[in-house]
Amino acid sequence: MRQIFFAAAALLCLASAAPAAEVGDDGLHKEPWFTLTFRDVADDIEAARADGKRLALVFEQRGCIYCRQMHEEVLADPAVADYIAANFHVVQYNLFGDEEVTDLDGSTLAEKTAARRWRVVFTPTILFMPESAPSEGTAGDAAVATMPGAFGKQTFLHMFQWVREKGYQGEEHFQKYHARKLAEAGATIESSQ
Cβ 134 vs Cβ 54: under 8 Å: no
Does 55 score more than 80 pLDDT? yes
Grade residue 17 by pLDDT with cuts at 50, 70 and 90: very low
pLDDT score of 20: 61
Grade residue 149 by pLDDT with cuts at 50, 70 and 90: confident
> How many Cα atoms sit within 13 Å of 170 on the Cβ side?
12
Of 91-100, 127-136, 147-156, 183-192, the least confident: 183-192
* Mean pLDDT, all residues of the chain: 89
| Average pLDDT rounded to a whole number, residues 137-147 | 97
SS (H, E, C) the chain: CHHHHHHHHHHHHHHHCCCCCEECCCCCEECCCCCCCCCEHHHHHHHHHHCCCEEEEEEECCCCHHHHHHHHHHCCCHHHHHHHHHHEEEEEEECCCCCEEECCCCCEEEHHHHHHHCCCCCCCEEEECCCCCCCCCCHHHHCCEEEECCCCHHHHHHHHHHHHCCHHHCCCCHHHHHHHHHHHHHHHHHHCC
pTM here? 0.86
pLDDT tens readout for residues 81-125: 999 999 999 999 999 999 999 999 999 999 999 999 999 999 999
pLDDT score of 19: 54
pLDDT score of 15: 40
pLDDT score of 186: 80
| Average pLDDT rounded to a whole number, residues 149-173 | 95
pLDDT score of 187: 64
pLDDT score of 41: 98
